[in-house]
Amino acid sequence: MSQVTATLEPSLIRTLSGIVGERAVITDPERLLVYESDGLTQYRYPPSAVVLPASVGELQRVIRTLHEADRPFVARGAGTGLSGGALAVDGAVVVTTTRMNRILEVDVENRRARAEPGAINAHLTTAAAPFGLYYAPDPSSQSACTLGGNVAENSGGPHCLKYGVTTRYVTGLTVVLPDGELLRLGGMGQETPGLDLVGLFVGSEGCFGVVAEIEVQLLPRPEGVRTLLALFDSLEEAATAVSRIIETGLLPAALEIMDQATIQAVEDSVFAAGIPRDAAAALVVEFDGIEVTLDAEMAAAREICQDSGAREVRTAAQAEEREALWKGRKKAFGAMGRIAPDLMVQDATVPRSRLPQVLARIGEIGRRYDLLVANVFHAGDGNLHPNLLFDRNDPDELRRVEEASREIMEVCIEAGGTITGEHGVGLDKRKYLPLVLSHSVLEAMGQVKAAFDPDGRCNPGKVLPDEYLISTKDPR
Amino acid sequence: MSGGPSRLPEGALASALSQQTERLSHCVHCGFCLPACPTYTRLGDEADSPRGRLHLMGAVVEGRLDPASEAFQLHMDRCLGCRACESVCPSGVEYGFLLERAREVAVSARQPSLVQRLLLGLIQRPALFLPWMWMSRLLRWSRIPALLGRGEAGAGRPGPLRLGAAMLAASAPPSLRVASFTGTRVQDREGEASGEPRGEVALLTGCVQDQLFRRVNQASRRVLAANGWTVVEVAGQGCCGALHAHGGRLSQAREMARRNLAAFQSAKPRYIVNNAAGCGAMMREYHELLGEDARELSHRVVDISSLLAGEGRRPRVGDPLAMTVTYDAPCHLLHAQAVSGVGEALLASIPELELRPLQRAEECCGGAGIYGITHPELGGEIGMDKARAVIASGADVLATGNPGCMMQIGAHLRLLGSEIQVVHPIELLDESYRSAGLYES
């Protein structure tokens, strides 16, 4: 992997400009600095160029041109990813989908929507709202992240505990393969004839091609929603409450935990939700569905929280209170800049029953490496997000973050978990992949990748370790 | 790849940004600001987003980017300075503050455009500014701009002459079709201001506001007096310096701020009332330019709609105005001053006035000080989108509390052939009071 920016030949720049217009091809290395990082700032890989197509046709012609010029490329949406998945390793050309940002259709009768890849996740729900419909996957960055990125990462979110992640909602895709071929996969039906290529594409982290259009299923808004906020004097108690809620057989729409450092960062921000700053942990429990069941479910959850040691249990009585709580929760990552200049958001999943022990171990790792760790996570899914806070200008601290990250991963794997819950492997977790996947599984993945991208030009340097990449020619 | 530290401007200027490492470090690159940015949502280039611009500022501080480079110059210049990003930033990055320092570094590395230098130079010099404004008023009176600036839906982008004409025409007094009121007067209700004496306030008369929108200043004085405020005239005050600060000319802005600080400090009013959101935002941040000495004064600066209708206060009630109005919150009230809902509350206090919702009211109109003139293409695109939203609201009148916004939105409505009138919210309250006979004594 190199960080060197390989400049584009003038003839290639001319061809690309001819397709998308001169202003939509950026090659000035200084203007490209902005694209050297995505939501994960530890890495800097400036691209050789950024191309901004505005339509499926332009996108296809751009990819075909890059194929003919034998150039590596990587698709990028809003650049909110947290595994470095959209970074331009090997001087790849960044193909940005932000100008392809329209919601194309909301088909109310069939509860389907079609959108361009650069459309913002939350905009889809806004477009569907007048019809009583919404798009269920709600990553915390949903106000900014794109549907194309969601498909690539198979994104989750707080409410995926009950409703499942992106793949459950994608019913059809139009994709451009690395050689420029345009394919329509699936569409309309829940089940498509033949092999499930839509399922294969969702979560492929941009390694198989570029998504050009997305068809998703929408859900009707549930009749009722109830939200509860339980405050605890220890993180472990909150985690215990989560395990017990799941054990009882309750199915909340969301079960989210924020620790004290996170609560304080959020309460200092414009998204302050009124959570007491002295609480060691705040647990948000939400139920939705038909009205008659909700109060009983809330009562049961309340009791479990109190039995687990909650010092206070509140109910969000008004829609505004619930909204404030969710805003605070979803913007928590962005608020970490109040604590430290840089952060490493870790993403790992453990069995929910092991949450209390794993959280205790993470706390201990943080203390041992002298790092501030702020936890904010999808507790119901056992999906942890320890935020390691640091200053990149301190090389020793940077090294400690790296080592602590690895130890946290090891602890999660040891507890029967895995190295990512929703952020993807991307660039950052590539090194951990062999810790959780066997040699033969990695080989199989290499073969699937080669079937879509025989030249190895599509999102180079991501997901699979180099030794598992099969390519007809070595691009490096 | 990029310039080394040796290419940074020498001494104090480079440090304008370098001193801000701490403020810059709050950005964690989450990207939540991207969809709030009018230039990013239209251009799609992350370098035209708040996060991207902060990244470029960081690169200058790190010595990786020359402030004279095309990248830094282009993207700092292309920012509207609307500060919508601040309203959605979880980490509270002080973007507006950083942008002004970045622009100071940018303009000291390379001269800005002629139009920008000309405009800022004119505003700063009364000997040039006053004759220019006098000629503008004469031209406006001739009604030539009104004829020249009228367009029709579907027409292409206007040339500079037509845009200028439309802007000047948009500064003219509105023609409000108010049926003369014959019904029963609304009696004063509990909790509303009555006209009982409340204290002394001063009005910032401003530069453009004083010359092209003097009627708004006069309406402000009357409305304040009707609500019990004694308006004291403060001599020696002048332009607030906002346009210069936004353009990175901090030393000139500081000079103007210092003059106002002295003038208002000696008058000692309880509040310094602003009816131009951009000036209000600037004066509320004087302490950032002048240090702690100015903090006390900054805290006494308040927007007129806040003073009358903020924090549950209700202005005195006049006659009904049966008209449909939509309200566009100036960015420097909504985002820079973080004041929301007061313009709407003020208008809602007028009986029978129907307030229509405006789609994307939180987005900049593209006027952004002098941006509409210095960046006619992008500013025009944003302005057209705003004008189309105003038309779609179905209202007969658009109210907004900033001269730049009034001229930008008014110009683009005209260019689209719309007859929608543009007013300052205080003008409507004034009309309601006048009709009710509150000024007859």
Please report the pLDDT score of residue B179 as a whole number.
Answer: 60
d(CA B417, CA B413): 6
Residue pair A74/A206 in contact (Cβ under 8 Å)? The answer is yes
Residue % of chain B over a pLDDT of 70: 92
Q: Tell me: the pLDDT tens digits for B331-373?
A: 999 999 999 999 999 999 999 999 999 999 999 999 988 898 8
Residue, of B268 and A203, whose pLDDT is higher: A203
Contact between chains at A143 and B32 (C-beta distance less than 8 A): yes
Contact between chains at B55 and A5 (C-beta distance less than 8 A): no
Domain that holds residue B281: 199-312
Q: Which of B109, B130, B157 is the last residue of a domain?
A: B109
Contact between chains at A31 and B1 (C-beta distance less than 8 A): no
Hey, what are A463's tokens?
């997901």
Contact between chains at A144 and B87 (C-beta distance less than 8 A): no
Q: CA triplet A250, A349, A341: central angle to 5 degrees?
A: 115
Q: Candidates 3.30.300.130, 3.30.465.10, 3.60.15.10, 3.40.50.10860; correct CATH number of A103-220? A: 3.30.465.10
Question: Taking 90 as the threshold, does the pLDDT of residue B397 lie above it?
Answer: yes
Q: Tell me: the pLDDT tens digits for A440-475?
A: 999 999 999 999 999 999 999 999 999 999 865 554
Question: Which of B30, B70, B92 is facing A30, going by the closest CB pair?
Answer: B70
Which range (A399-403, B101-105, B217-221, B371-375) has the least confidence?
B371-375
Q: Length of chain B, please?
A: 441
Hey, what are B327's tokens?
């309200």
Q: Which of B293, B312, B331 is the last residue of a domain?
A: B312
Candidates A4, A22, A31, partner chain B, best to mutate (most B CBs within 10 A): A31
Q: CA triplet B281, B287, B289: central angle to 5 degrees?
A: 90
Q: Which residues of chain B are at the A interface, by a Cβ-Cβ cutoff of 8 Å?
A: 1-2, 25-35, 40-41, 44-47, 51-52, 55-56, 59, 64-66, 69-72, 74-75, 87-93, 338
Question: Taking 60 as the threshold, does the pLDDT of residue B11 lie above it?
Answer: no
- CB contact burial A31-66 (16+ within 10 A = b; e otherwise): bbbbbbbbbbbbbebbbbbbbbbbebebbbbbbbbb
Please report the pLDDT score of residue B312 as a whole number.
Answer: 84
Contact between chains at B29 and A38 (C-beta distance less than 8 A): yes
Per DSSP bridges, beta strands A93-96 and A103-107 are: unpaired
Please report the pLDDT score of residue A233 as a whole number.
Answer: 96
- Whether residues B302 and B393 fall in one domain: no
Number of domains in chain B: 3
Write the CB contacts of B85 (distance below 8 Å, at least 6 apart in sequence). B33, B36, B37, B50, B93, B95
Q: What is the DSSP-derived secondary structure letter of residue A336?
A: G
Q: Tell me: the pLDDT tens digits for B65-80?
A: 999 999 999 999 999 9
d(CA B169, CA B183): 34
Contacts of A145 in chain B (CB under 8 A): 31
Contact between chains at A30 and B72 (C-beta distance less than 8 A): yes
pLDDT band for position B5 (cuts 50, 70, 90): very low
B386 CA: distance to closest CA in chain A (Å): 19
Hey, what are B8's tokens?
């940074």
Bridge partners of residue A51, in order along the sequence:
A25, A95
Write down the pTM of the prediction.
Answer: 0.93
d(CA B227, CA B441): 15
Q: Which of B404, B210, B224 is nearest to B302 (CA)?
A: B224
d(CA B246, CA A32): 25
Hey, what are B131's tokens?
């004759």
Contact between chains at A335 and B31 (C-beta distance less than 8 A): no
Question: Taking 90 as the threshold, does the pLDDT of residue B124 lie above it?
Answer: no
Hey, what are B438's tokens?
């509150």
Contact between chains at A337 and B91 (C-beta distance less than 8 A): yes
Q: Which of A305, A281, A134 is nearest to A227 (CA)?
A: A305
Q: Tell me: the pLDDT tens digits for B53-64?
A: 999 999 999 889
Domain membership of residue B276 (yes or no) is: yes
Write the CB contacts of B148 (distance below 8 Å, at least 6 apart in sequence). B161, B162, B165, B166, B169
Q: How many helices (H) and strands (E) does chain A have?
A: 15, 20
Q: Is A311 helix (H, G, I), strand (E, B) or coil?
A: coil
Type of residue numbered B317: V
Q: Tell me: the pLDDT tens digits for A407-427?
A: 999 999 999 999 988 899 999
- Whether residues B323 and B221 fall in one domain: no
Please report the pLDDT score of residue A7 as a whole number.
Answer: 83
Residue A64 CB-half CA count within 13 A:
11
d(CA A325, CA A53): 37
Q: Which of B312, B339, B363 is the last residue of a domain?
A: B312
CATH number at residue B276: 3.40.50
Residue % of chain A over a pLDDT of 70: 97
- Whether residues B18 and B97 fall in one domain: yes
Residue, of B133 and A51, whose pLDDT is higher: A51
Q: Tell me: the pLDDT tens digits for A22-80?
A: 999 999 999 999 999 999 888 999 999 999 999 999 999 999 999 999 999 999 999 99
What ipTM was predicted for this assembly? 0.93
A20 CA: distance to closest CA in chain B (Å): 13
Candidates A33, A271, A327, partner chain B, best to mutate (most B CBs within 10 A): A33
- Whether residues B147 and B212 fall in one domain: no
Question: Taking 60 as the threshold, does the pLDDT of residue B152 lie above it?
Answer: yes
Question: Which of B25, B30, B65 is facing A33, going by the closest CB pair?
Answer: B65
Please report the pLDDT score of residue A473 as a whole number.
Answer: 55
Please report the pLDDT score of residue A5 as a whole number.
Answer: 52
- What φ, ψ does residue A272 adopt, rounded to 5°? -50, 130
Instruction: Report H helices in A289-372.
Output: 291-307, 319-330, 332-335, 355-368
Asked if the A10-96 domain carries CATH number 3.30.43.10, the reply is: yes
Write the CB contacts of A4 (distance below 8 Å, at least 6 apart in sequence). A91
Contacts of A391 in chain B (CB under 8 A): 25
Residue, of B196 and A262, whose pLDDT is higher: A262
Q: Which CATH superfamily is domain A224-414 in?
A: FAD-linked oxidases, C-terminal domain (3.40.462.10)
Domain membership of residue B127 (yes or no) is: no
Please report the pLDDT score of residue A101 as a whole number.
Answer: 96
Boundaries of every domain in chain A: 10-96, 103-220, 224-414, 434-466
Type of residue numbered A402: E
pLDDT band for position A328 (cuts 50, 70, 90): very high
CA distances from B254 to A92, B155, B282, B286 (A): 46, 42, 11, 8
- Taking each helix axis as running N to C, give the angle between helix B50-61 and helix B11-18, from 0 to 180 degrees, rounded to the nearest 10: 130
Compute the mean pLDDT over every residue in chain A, rounded to the nearest whole number.
93
Type of residue numbered A332: A
Contacts of B378 in chain A (CB under 8 A): none
Residue pair B417/B151 in contact (Cβ under 8 Å)? The answer is yes
d(CA B49, CA B27): 13
